[in-house]
Structure 1
Amino acid sequence: MTARGCALLNYTYTHNDLTILGPTEPTYYAPNHLPDVLDIAILKSVPVGDQISAEYEGSTAHNPVLLDVGLRQRNVGIFTRRFTDWGRFRAEMQRNTAIPVIETTDDLEAAILSLETDIKYAMTQTTTETEIPRLAISRQTLPDGIKQLIRDRRRLKRLATRTRLP
């Protein structure tokens, strides 16, 4: 509806390989204005199997946006959660890392290689990994009660935007 939006639309008419995606629900609720969609995706030469949507809104006026590109399945398989104990990492680095005397470029290269090796070793010693299965439940299968709560929250945010009531 704006001049910039019309210019963007006209640009896509002359460039057939572009796809512009935007969520159907507002992504920004300004206190003194109507809700608006601020977040869009411009894709070039990507097959159209894409979805973009505004996700659960937190306590801010701006909703995060989720863009699914391609035909992959979401939340399937496992992922690895890594935790690094940075206190132990610091101690490991102080114990194993010596400050070399650098006089030539060969000394510098050796010191860089040594530091890189020390960092990698300290990371492997202080990082634990846990494999966690992903849930195969998609966003569309939320319970009806949760969906209703989300609809009510959006309605109340729109009302608060229009009337300035908390």
Structure 2
Amino acid sequence: MNFVEKTIGKKSIYEGKIINLNLLKVKLPNGKESNREIVNHPGGVAILTYKDQDTLIMVEQFRKPFERMVLEIPAGKLEKGEDPETCGKRELEEETGYKSKNFNYLGKIITSPGFCDEIIYIYEARDLYKGRDDIGDEDEFINLKEIKIDRIKDMIKSGDIEDAKTVSSFMFI
């Protein structure tokens, strides 16, 4: 059975630098009407960054929504019209200082389909070489961590790593 909801109205609630919030009026499959609050996000890229066969480079950053440091794989937002692979290579160098001779697409995830249209494209970066010396944007403060892959899997299981894109990326290893 097809449960498509037809959009019959749209109201812009907020337009920001990164996200927009819209209130949609929809017609449900049973003929009734309902509202949907939808966050529009340009999407992003996340990179499994291999220092060597057994070790990943991860980033630790303060994340304001959670008021704490969060350990995650390097990632970043797509710019308007930007190709995901181009974004991934840019973010890899911005967040880690490395470039990659072997940069491959692995898959994608839908982060929060109940209210947001964000898609994150996942890549792997191998055969790293030094790019830029400074890391992070002017408003971004990053600690680089080199962690063995087996330890990361245990950290996910124990709850020490909770970031969804990081946890999801391990399905591709």
TM-score by length of 1: 0.22
* Structure with the bigger percentage of helix: 1
Larger radius of gyration: 1
* Structure with the bigger percentage of strand: 2
